Amino acid sequence: MELIYLIIALCVTISTHETAHAWVAYKLGDPTAKLEGRISLNPLRHLDLLGTLMIFIAHFGWGKPIPYNEYNLRHPRRDSALIALAGPMANLITAFLVALPYKYLILSQTTLINQGFTIFLLSSLDAILSLSLVLFIFNLLPIAPLDGSKFIGVFIPASREFAYRRYLARGPMILILVVVGDSFLGSTLGTSFLQPVIGALYDFFRIAILLIV
C-alpha cells in the first residue's frame, strides 16, 4: 500500500516541479518547453527513468530536464537562475497546500465517508507533503545537474564560466558518484553527510510548515 502512496506523490511532485520550470521559461521569453508540451501536469511528460528509480531506491530523485534556449532569454544568467529556482519553489508551495488539509484532518479527527477513505487520503497527503519537501531540499543542492547547480550560475564570475559549464556538462556522473559515495560511507563507516543534512532540513521545514498553516 505504501507503494501506491509513493506513486501518487511522485506524479504530483514531479509534475508540479517540471511544469513550473517550463512555465517560468515561457514567461521569460523561451517557448522551447511549451512547444514540447512540457507545460502540463501530466506526469508522463515529465518522468525520468533514472530519476524515478532513485526515488524508489534512495527516496530522492528528479524528473526529465526541461529544455530551454538561453538565447531566447532577455537576461540569460538571471533568467536561467529563476528557471532553476522555479521547480523547488513549486515543491515548497505544494507542501504548504497539502499541509493545510492534512493538518485539519489530523486535528479534527473527522471520518470522511468511511475510515478507510480517511486513512487513504491522509496517507496520500502525507506522502505528497514528504516528497515535496525532499525534492525541494534535494534539488537546491549545488550538485550538477540539480537545480541548485544552475541557480548558483548567477554568482559565477565570467572568468570561471568555462569551468562552470564543464561542471554542468558532467552533471549526471557527478550526481551518481555523490549519491553512491555518500550511501557507501553511511553503510560502511557511519559517516554519511548528505542524508543527515537532508534529514535535518526536512524535519525543520516539515515542522515549520505544519506550525504555520
Q: Identify whether the C-beta of residue 153 lies closer than 8 Å to the C-beta of residue 79.
A: no
Q: What is the pLDDT, as a whole number, of residue 124?
A: 95
Q: What is the pLDDT, as a whole number, of residue 57?
A: 73
Instruction: Enter the pTM of the model.
Output: 0.88
Q: What is the pLDDT, as a whole number, of residue 54?
A: 73
Q: Rounded CA gap, 187 and 11, in Å?
A: 30
Q: Report the half-sphere exposure of 98 (CA within 13 A, side-chain side).
A: 24
- Collapse the DSSP code of 63 into the 3-class scheme (helix H, G, I; strand E, B; otherwise coil) and give the result: strand
Q: What is the pLDDT, as a whole number, of residue 119?
A: 84
Provide the 8-state DSSP code for 43.
G
- Collapse the DSSP code of 47 into the 3-class scheme (helix H, G, I; strand E, B; otherwise coil) and give the result: strand
Give the residue numbers annotated as catalytic, written as ranges. Answer: 18
H or E element in which residue 140 lies: none
Q: Identify whether the C-beta of residue 198 lies closer than 8 Å to the C-beta of residue 137.
A: yes
Q: What is the pLDDT, as a whole number, of residue 192?
A: 77
Q: What is the pLDDT, as a whole number, of residue 202?
A: 96
Cell of 21: 520550470
Q: What is the pLDDT, as a whole number, of residue 90?
A: 97
Average pLDDT per run of 10 along the chain, which is 213 residues long? 86 94 96 94 86 71 83 93 96 97 80 71 94 94 91 91 90 81 76 85 96 94
Please list, residue by residue across 7-30, b when 16 or more beta carbons sit within 10 angstroms of its beta carbon and e when fewer do. Answer: ebbbbbbbbbbbbbbbbbbbebeb
Q: Rounded CA gap, 105 and 50, in Å?
A: 35
Cell of 31: 517557448
Q: What is the pLDDT, as a whole number, of residue 109?
A: 60
Cell of 46: 515529465
Q: Identify whether the C-beta of residue 198 lies closer than 8 Å to the C-beta of residue 172.
A: no
Cell of 94: 505544494
